[in-house]
Amino acid sequence: MRHLTSLSRSAVRLGGARHAVRSFASTPLSSSSSLSRSDIVFEADASKVAKEVRKRGMATEISSAGSMDRDTIIRLLYSLGSRQEVERYLRIFTSSSKGASGGVLPEAKFAVLKVGGAILTNELDDLALSLSFLNRLGLFPIVLHGAGPQLNDILEAEGVVPDYEDGIRITDAKTLQVARRVFLQENLKLTTALERLGTRARPIPTGVFTADYLDKNKYGLVGRITRVDKAPIEAAIRAGCLPILTSLAENADGQILNVNADVAAGELARVLEPMKIVYLNEKGGLFHGVTGKKLSTINLDEEYDSLMKESWVKFGTKLKLREIKELLDTLPRSSSVAIISTDMLQKELFTDAGAGTLIRRGYKLYKQDATDAVGSTQLRQVFQERDPDVISGKKSVAEIFGDFKATPHTIYGDEPLDVVAVVSHPPGETPVMTKFLPSRPGILNKIVDNVFDAVKKDHKRLFWTANADDENRAWHFERADGSFTRAGRSLFWYGVPNVKEVEGIIDKFETTGRIERVFLPVGPSVPPHRQAGAESARASSTLSGQRRQFSTCPGPQDFRRGYATATDVPRKRVALIGARGYTGQNLVSLINSHPHLDLTHVSSRELAGLPLKGYSKSDVKYSNLSVEDVKKMEEDNVVDAWIMALPNGICKPFVDAIEGAKEKGGKGVIIDLSADYRFEKDWTYGLPEIYGRDVVKGSLRISNPGCYATNMQLLLAPLMPHLDPSQAPTVYGVSGYSGAGTKSGEKDVDGHPKTMPKIGPSDLRGGIRPYSLTDHIHERESSTHLSTLLGQGSNFHLSFIPTVAPWFAGIISTVSAPLAKSMRASEINELYREKYEHERMCHIAKEVPDVIDIEGKHGWKMGGVQVHSSGKRVVVVGVLDNLLKGAATQCLQNLNLALGYDELDGIPLDQI
């Protein structure tokens, strides 16, 4: 269920959906292409779609994008979400403005897109591909761009120091002269990029905004917009061109005035009332200033006053929220603001899941114990129009209202009754949501989520039903711990993790008549069969000769806005193959404290039969699992995830066995800690802070980055757009001896072989030892994956020198990187701050970090930025624990994302 009718103050700071759109908009498919929904890998992430397209050999040069047809694009969109989602949003986008007033074309009502100047520099191709993609669907986004960074660079080069007052650039005649030139150059650059893709675009650098002086004495040639002329925009769209605007305005005397681009986009939105306004935010949304978690949704009517009182809401954040509220207060209530990252545009526009932070006005919610308190007349109309029982004639509204009086009920909803929920809760009995009646606006604007969350706050356990063919059935699956379907109806529940208890509750429902007969067993139930070793696992029960499936695992997921709690998701079972080494021991400890994971199998040839130390949730013994054992376990769905903690070159037979079980229903997640699959295109490379979380969510095959490689990539990622392409950066890395692995030693008192380092302090004699001085595997790994940050076809290289030192754990790496242009240390520090300030696992320091700072910690730390006197070379230092963030902790991050949990579940937050 999703907004889709969204807009906002500063309009869309759009980017490129660089993963999906690069393939979409550059794919020359004819209408005869036989690409169906079932042909595509169903992932809620655009990069998976792009990967599938490339695998099929359909990706070509950008210049051939013109031959791509609309039907092909729509079929590709089915890979981002369900067919119903995509088609629903396409209908909305193409029909919502048919009744547009004031002479505004329907096409002008789709979206206003605010593009920051940095995007035109760093992501121009992605932006052009995204716009071309939308245009081939028959949509005409109105693009308004800034050019702040470009203007600052030119002014600095010409000896003009930028000056600001109240956050507004003071604009004198020389600054305005440069600004006009820069805006025209950037405007033409974007229109040219679009024309190269075969998408017609019209530059409109001036002529749309009329303004007066904001305060000539104080700000100089800065304008306050007084009028927006739609005519140039409408003329461009009538000619089949995308309008590309700047924020330059003119006063009545013809004087050009500079206007803040965010303000200009807001004024444009007020006049056009477009369907969508989306900010591009490199961080992917707004983040809570204390917890660091992304704010999934903000409902201003409910949350604005309290949010503005939060201690962390200040300065720019407070100003942005205030401006967004002021804009939304002038627009239709269906309007909303989406703040997303550049690669999430298609997911934001065409799926229920959306992306980033969604801000909308919403409505205040209510809950009442009587129909009269809600308004019986209005409530009666809701039931007459939406309740399937009333529409089919099965029950009258009067009968339903009578049921409310017979047993205790609570009615939940929003002020305009776009969503109504009724929960029956007799004393001492399990609550049942007997009615859930959303309107279409209630679904699109995600009021359904607000109401359901209100129900969940009051009821720790709940049962409810839905039609099996409900187009929004995935929404119900997401919110349920379990479900089963009979006779075209599905029963869902949460808060009851034990299957046997579920059976007992359903039996009681039968005797009290609180739920429809179709969901109940035909005869007496027998205790459910349980797979060996699978406590509270997916189970089935035999009911009078019939098989009825109970699932404690939610159905199809699109990773809705919000965060999982202990009652949102079921427990999952993990098998650890190769548990003897240091990394395996750390994984055992982490899973032992995980709120949702159970370690059910640990495999070690040397320790087979011995009890597992350090795990207290249950009694687990080491086993020596063969390839055949693993395949049979996967076929029987004995575990939900496999962690391969084996040396390089060892795990392939096990992976092949798991792959071979797919045809018999195997669907376990694999995370490989070796280097075996880090270069495989069909595997997801799991470094969330750099390559994103959505690529990991729902992935079944994940390669865990190497320890050195993690440190190197975290250090280099913010620098990538600024490096000198003709000179490779050099990384000097020093690791504790635990990174060399373990060997078996003498046995302890319990019969366990003692874990001994392959290389120890005595071997090093107190010194350090360089090794693998060229062609180290982590050198190639880091180079390969960092290349993807520079765009398709890029070929990045770095030089790496590893060294082992006489401390136990911890890596310190020093990067020396040539720069493409002269930069200051403050600018470099800002790059890291922008990249990592909201990453809970990443710490930014001024001083050079020390290994002591990070040993035994689960995060990563960087600092010590220094720039050579030439300004053309930067040195940066980073540290992490090679056994934790370099291995076990990162593995748990990836496992959490893949299984649908919060990324940091099970990771001690006080040890990051």
Secondary structure of 603-651 in HEC code, one letter for each residue: ECCCCCCCECCCCCCCCCEEECCCHHHHHHHHHCCCCCEEEECCCCCCC
What pLDDT, on the 0 to 100 scale, is given for residue 206? 93
Q: Is the pLDDT of residue 563 over 70?
A: no
Please answer whether residues 35 and 365 qualify as being in contact, where contact means their C-beta atoms are separated by less than 8 angstroms: no
What pLDDT, on the 0 to 100 scale, is given for residue 532? 29
For residue 277, the one-letter residue type is I
Mean pLDDT score, 715-727 = 96
Mode of pairing for the β-strands spanning 409-414 and 365-368:
antiparallel
Q: How many CB atoms lie within 10 A of CB 435?
A: 24
Angle of CA points 354, 358, 359, to nearest 5°: 160
Catalogue all structural domains in the chain, each as residue range(s) with its CATH number. Answer: 18-360 (3.40.1160.10), 368-459 (3.40.630.30), 572-676 (3.40.50.720), 707-899 (3.30.360.10)
Per-residue CA distances from 507 to 118, 139, 656, 805 (Å): 62, 53, 44, 65
What value does the mean pLDDT of the chain take? 80
Query: How sure is the predictor about 731, in pLDDT bands with cuts at 50, 70 and 90?
Result: very high
Question: Pick the residue with more confidence: 287 or 544?
Answer: 287
Q: State how far the Cα of 186 lies from the Cα of 191, in Å rounded to an integer.
A: 9
**Phi then psi dihedrals of residue 633, to 5 deg:** -60, -40
**3-class state of residue 770 by DSSP:** strand
Please answer whether residues 5 and 13 qualify as being in contact, where contact means their C-beta atoms are separated by less than 8 angstroms: no
What pLDDT, on the 0 to 100 scale, is given for residue 355? 78
Q: Which of 718, 890, 750, 873 is nearest to 811 (CA)?
A: 890
Query: How sure is the predictor about 746, in pLDDT bands with cuts at 50, 70 and 90?
Result: low
Query: How sure is the predictor about 569, in pLDDT bands with cuts at 50, 70 and 90?
Result: low
Half-sphere CA count of 802, side-chain side, radius 13 A: 21
Mean pLDDT score, 157-167 = 74
Q: How many CB atoms lie within 10 A of CB 645?
A: 28
Q: Which of 223, 316, 320 is nearest to 277 (CA)?
A: 320
Pair of tokens at residue 107: 């096409």
Kindly report which listed range (532-546, 594-608, 675-689) carries the lowest average pLDDT score: 532-546
Question: Pick the residue with more confidence: 290 or 21?
Answer: 290
- C-alpha torsion sign, points 68, 71, 72, 74: positive
Pair of tokens at residue 259: 């206007």
H or E segment at 482? strand 482-486
Please answer whether residues 30 and 66 qualify as being in contact, where contact means their C-beta atoms are separated by less than 8 angstroms: no
Q: State how far the Cα of 452 lies from the Cα of 561, in Å rounded to an integer.
A: 13
What pLDDT, on the 0 to 100 scale, is given for residue 46? 41
Mean pLDDT score, 82-97 = 67
Mean pLDDT score, 843-857 = 92
Q: Which of 12-21, 171-180, 366-375 has the highest mean pLDDT?
A: 171-180
Query: How sure is the predictor about 753, in pLDDT bands with cuts at 50, 70 and 90?
Result: low
Q: State how far the Cα of 454 lies from the Cα of 462, in Å rounded to an integer.
A: 13
Of all residues in the chain, the percent with pLDDT exceeding 90 is 40
What pLDDT, on the 0 to 100 scale, is given for residue 373? 66
What pLDDT, on the 0 to 100 scale, is given for residue 577? 94
Of all residues in the chain, the percent with pLDDT exceeding 70 is 79
Kindly report which listed range (148-157, 376-385, 472-481, 693-702) carries the lowest average pLDDT score: 472-481
Kindly report which listed range (112-116, 732-736, 825-829, 879-883) carries the lowest average pLDDT score: 112-116
Sheet holding 242-245: strands in order across? 201-204, 242-245, 142-145, 111-115, 276-280, 336-340, 357-360, 297-299
Mean pLDDT score, 70-93 = 71
pLDDT digits (tens, 9 = 90+) for 307-354: 998 888 886 678 778 888 988 888 877 777 888 877 777 777 777 667
The CA R_g of the chain, rounded to the nearest whole Å, is: 29
Q: State how far the Cα of 8 lies from the Cα of 5, in Å rounded to an integer.
A: 11
* Burial zone of 94 (CB within 10 Å; 0-12 exposed, 13-18 middle, 19+ buried): middle
What pLDDT, on the 0 to 100 scale, is given for residue 591? 95
In three-state form (DSSP H/G/I as H, E/B as E, the rest C), the secondary structure along 805-853 is ECCCCCEEEEEEEEECCCCCHHHHHHHHHHHHCCCCCEEECCCCCCHHH
pLDDT digits (tens, 9 = 90+) for 261-276: 888 988 999 998 887 8
Question: Pick the residue with more confidence: 82 or 780?
Answer: 780
Looking at the DSSP assignment, which residues form a beta bridge with residue 866?
A: 875
Mode of pairing for the β-strands spanning 546-550 and 539-543:
antiparallel
Q: Known catalytic residues?
A: 707
What pLDDT, on the 0 to 100 scale, is given for residue 666? 85
Q: State how far the Cα of 264 lies from the Cα of 267, in Å rounded to an integer.
A: 5
Exposure letters 216-228 (e unless 16+ CB within 10 A, then b): eeebbbbbbbeeb
Q: Is the pLDDT of residue 418 over 60?
A: yes
Mean pLDDT score, 372-392 = 82
Residue ranges in 59-161 assigned as alpha helix (H): 70-77, 83-95, 117-122, 124-136, 148-157
pLDDT digits (tens, 9 = 90+) for 58-72: 333 333 334 456 777
Q: State how far the Cα of 791 lies from the Cα of 128, in Å rounded to an integer.
A: 14
Q: What share of the chain is helix, strand, coil (3-state, %, to 5)?
A: 35, 20, 40
pLDDT digits (tens, 9 = 90+) for 604-655: 888 888 999 889 999 999 999 999 999 999 999 999 999 999 988 899 999 9
Q: How many CB atoms lie within 10 A of CB 841?
A: 23
Please answer whether residues 702 and 672 qualify as being in contact, where contact means their C-beta atoms are separated by less than 8 angstroms: yes
**3-class state of residue 130 by DSSP:** helix
Q: Is the pLDDT of residue 298 over 50?
A: yes
Q: Characterise 173 by phi-psi region: left (phi > 0), alpha (psi -120 to 50), beta (else).
A: alpha
Q: State how far the Cα of 465 lies from the Cα of 568, in Å rounded to an integer.
A: 17
What pLDDT, on the 0 to 100 scale, is given for residue 93? 76
What pLDDT, on the 0 to 100 scale, is given for residue 747? 56
Looking at the DSSP assignment, which residues form a beta bridge with residue 491?
A: 465, 484
Please answer whether residues 716 and 815 qualify as being in contact, where contact means their C-beta atoms are separated by less than 8 angstroms: yes
pLDDT digits (tens, 9 = 90+) for 190-225: 999 999 999 999 999 999 999 999 999 999 999 999
Per-residue CA distances from 193 to 27, 300, 344, 637 (Å): 17, 38, 21, 50
Question: Pick the residue with more confidence: 747 or 353?
Answer: 353
How much is the pTM?
A: 0.46
Give the relative orientation of helices 124-136 and 70-77 as an angle to the nearest 10 degrees: 110
Mean pLDDT score, 174-183 = 92
Mode of pairing for the β-strands spanning 336-340 and 357-360:
antiparallel
What pLDDT, on the 0 to 100 scale, is given for residue 837? 87
What pLDDT, on the 0 to 100 scale, is given for residue 740? 65
Kindly report which listed range (95-104, 363-372, 628-637, 654-663) carries the lowest average pLDDT score: 95-104
Looking at the DSSP assignment, which residues form a beta bridge with residue 437?
A: 420
- C-alpha torsion sign, points 13, 17, 22, 27: negative
Question: Pick the residue with more confidence: 19 or 883?
Answer: 883
Q: Is the pLDDT of residue 812 over 60?
A: yes
Please answer whether residues 110 and 11 qualify as being in contact, where contact means their C-beta atoms are separated by less than 8 angstroms: no
Question: Pick the residue with more confidence: 533 or 278?
Answer: 278
Q: Is the pLDDT of residue 506 over 90?
A: no
Cα dihedral: 720, 725, 727, 731 (round 10): 20
What pLDDT, on the 0 to 100 scale, is given for residue 313? 87
Q: State how far the Cα of 204 lies from the Cα of 189, in Å rounded to an integer.
A: 13
What pLDDT, on the 0 to 100 scale, is given for residue 137? 85
Q: What is the DSSP letter of 242?
A: E
Q: State how far the Cα of 456 lies from the Cα of 474, in Å rounded to an integer.
A: 18
